[in-house]
Structure 1
Amino acid sequence: MPPPHWRLILNGKSAGDDDLRGAVQTLRESGIALEVRVTWEDGDAERYVAEAIADGVDTVIAAGGDGTLSEVAATLAHRDANAEALPSLGLVPLGTANDFATAAGIPDGLLAALQLVREVVAAPLDLLRIDADDGIHWCANLASGGFGTEVTVETDEGLKKMLGGLAYLITGIARLGRIDPLQARLRGPDFAWEGDLIALGIGNGRQAGGGQALCPDALVDDGQLDLTIVPDLSGDVAATVGTLIKEGKHAALDRVATRIRLPWVELASDEPLTLNLDGEPVASRRFRVDCVAGRVRMHLPLACPLRLKPCA
């Protein structure tokens, strides 16, 4: 039987990581045929995944943050093939916040993350398919809008490198007092909502923006998306901040938010609304977001809290 054949697609920002180089060498010495490709510009991940499929690669590993994971997953998702016919997907967390990896329980250690891919059988993973004015997008973790999106987009790259997820909190504090609500209309099966919102989460995963748990109960294999709408709080801001301090983020979210689980949702706005799709901001006056069940197969921990069904 030939050795397992892997292709690691590495975000160019982490190309000089010596620990990753050592972990790759360890896997090679253990019998894995592991090749590395480094992304430098738009379109690289698409090309590398196409090459991996043509080469009969067993597993494609995204080495980077949530954006890298989403980009690699998207290049698999839009192929004209079912999940079983495509390479499985792994993740080595090398980003600033690593929201998906954190929520999923993927190890921080680079060698441990690669060993996970080797030791755990890949299982079906849902993806979000987003139809916007400019075309189709895919999202592996979470689509967010409103205050959280503006914080993520505006956070300085240098600050992120120095402080990691804390950079998002600092940027958020700097924005307090100038949160402009967004007007939107949302509808789904037996659901409709219209009004002003300051934050929106559409989750396959649970958190984004360095730990903002907008969809704290989301699962990645239930065929459903988790929708969280935080309305304009107006006079409730002080009470919400008090709850946040005393009881934690989840309690504050439960107090003010509308939360529901749906197979799809449509958003509309008179002005362009920006959704952040795992780091990719997309502006549109209308979105349709569908949860596509089991679109790819991913190596996740046996006790992954994001899974409804335990991994084999």
Structure 2
Amino acid sequence: MAQDERHLHLILNGKSAQREDVRAAVEAVRGRGHRVEVRVTYDAGDAARFAREVVGREGDDLPDVVVAGGGDGTLNQVVAAALEARPAPPCAFAVLPLGTANDFAAGLGLPVDNMGSALLLCARGAAKPIDVGRINGRVFVNVASAGAVTRITREADPRAKRLLGGAAYLIAGASRFAELTPTRARISGEGFSFDGEFMALAVGNGRLAGGGVALCADARVDDGKLDLSLFPKPDADHMMALLSSLVKESETGLQGYARTHRFTRLTVEADEDLAVNLDGEPMAAQVLEIEVDPGAIRFVTG
């Protein structure tokens, strides 16, 4: 991939289309000689549709890099649709982090506060193969999670999260303590087994979720494996300690409590349907077949 002139195709979440820093970033990158196409989402499903269309191009019309302009959910939609349309996409992918949390970008150490630097990295940074995860065939790029504590991190008011940081999780957890019901499941695969109740599980290709919480602190996007963090049912005192770890965004507290395992394939069989969060995209199933798709895409990581 040439470093001097690169063809970017930016799929931009419509909520960010009027941001002046985004417009300035696009103009600055164009001013450096790069070609930047912009498509703005309006309806649900637009990001996926645009991704399918662009990876189907051939020759000079195919961009060097497809950039997901949005949060982790937008990145998920773009990558999942591209892989569905073309299992070995010839173009690379990148992210312009415009979401509330931007956990995947933050976990990779990419610029999340300066859109000019972030888009310039898309135009000049090196692309390398990275893995993606799959649950029952559905793709996740960063982290998939399930369970009661995970539901709290997902449902915590985004406005409170911006104002209070991790304390928003403690407030949500304390106010809804009676709703923190455990899930019973059997988990097996590659030297790991569990039969009991848990409050949350996270499967990480990336490290961070829920607004900077290191649910899978040691995960790497390019090692051909996924990382499991399983949080068994605690007593009431340990539940508040777990929520406090979320407040402090403490890797030590979370990982000291979790059962962890690195794998390529894992099966979860729950007693009832599990609500699962794939990079912010919802699904539900009673049996989860989880596997890694190693080196599935090339991604601009700097």
Same fold (TM > 0.5): yes
1:103 aligns with 2:107: yes
How far off its partner does 1:98 sit?
0.9
Match of 1:113 in 2: 118
How far off its partner does 1:103 sit?
1.1
Q: Which amino acid aligns with 1:72?
A: V
How far off its partner does 1:46 sit?
2.2
- Is the contact between residue 159 and residue 167 of structure 1 (CA under 8 Å) also seen in structure 2? yes
Aligned positions of 1:157-306 closer than 5 A? 159=160, 167-168=168-169, 170-176=171-177, 178-234=179-235, 237=238, 240=241, 244=245, 249-301=250-302
Equivalent of 1:29, from 6, 31, 34?
31
d(CA) in 1 for partners of 2:253 and 2:6? 47
How far off its partner does 1:286 sit?
0.8
d(CA) in 1 for partners of 2:165 and 2:259? 29
Equivalent of 1:18, from 17, 20, 35?
20
Cα 1:3–1:31 shift into 2, 3 Å: same
Deviations 1:46-92 (A, max 9, x none): 22113322231111001111111111111222234424x2x111111
How far off its partner does 1:139 sit?
0.4
How far off its partner does 1:213 sit?
1.3
Equivalent of 2:78, from 66, 72, 82?
72
d(CA) in 2 for partners of 1:255 and 1:243? 13
Q: Secondary structure at the match of 1:75?
A: helix
Unaligned runs of 5+ residues in structure 1 are 302-312
Deviations 1:169-189 (A, max 9, x none): 543443345421111111111
Q: Secondary structure at the match of 2:101?
A: coil
How far off its partner does 1:272 sit?
0.6
How far off its partner does 1:107 sit?
0.6
Aligned positions of 1:42-57 closer than 5 A? 42-53=44-55, 54=57, 55-57=61-63
Cα 1:231–1:38 shift into 2, 3 Å: same
How far off its partner does 1:274 sit?
1.0
d(CA) in 2 for partners of 1:28 and 1:166? 41
Report the count of equivalent residues: 294
d(CA) in 2 for partners of 1:239 and 1:8? 42
d(CA) in 2 for partners of 1:158 and 1:217? 29
Deviations 1:180-202 (A, max 9, x none): 11111111112211111011110
- Is the contact between residue 226 and residue 262 of structure 2 (CA under 8 Å) also seen in structure 1? yes
Deviations 1:268-297 (A, max 9, x none): 112111111111121111111111001010
Cα 1:141–1:239 shift into 2, 3 Å: closer
Q: Which amino acid aligns with 2:75?
A: L
Unaligned runs of 5+ residues in structure 2 are none
Match of 1:122 in 2: 127
- Is the contact between residue 96 and residue 160 of structure 1 (CA under 8 Å) also seen in structure 2? no
Deviations 1:91-116 (A, max 9, x none): 11110111111111111210101111
Task: Indicate the RMSD between aligned Cα atoms, in angstroms.
Answer: 2.6
TM-score (norm 2): 0.88
- Is the contact between residue 142 and residue 207 of structure 1 (CA under 8 Å) also seen in structure 2? yes
Q: Which amino acid aligns with 1:130?
A: I
Q: Secondary structure at the match of 1:74?
A: helix
How far off its partner does 1:257 sit?
1.5
Q: Secondary structure at the match of 2:85?
A: coil
Deviations 1:33-55 (A, max 9, x none): 10111122232122211332223
Sequence identity percentage:
40
Q: Secondary structure at the match of 2:197?
A: strand
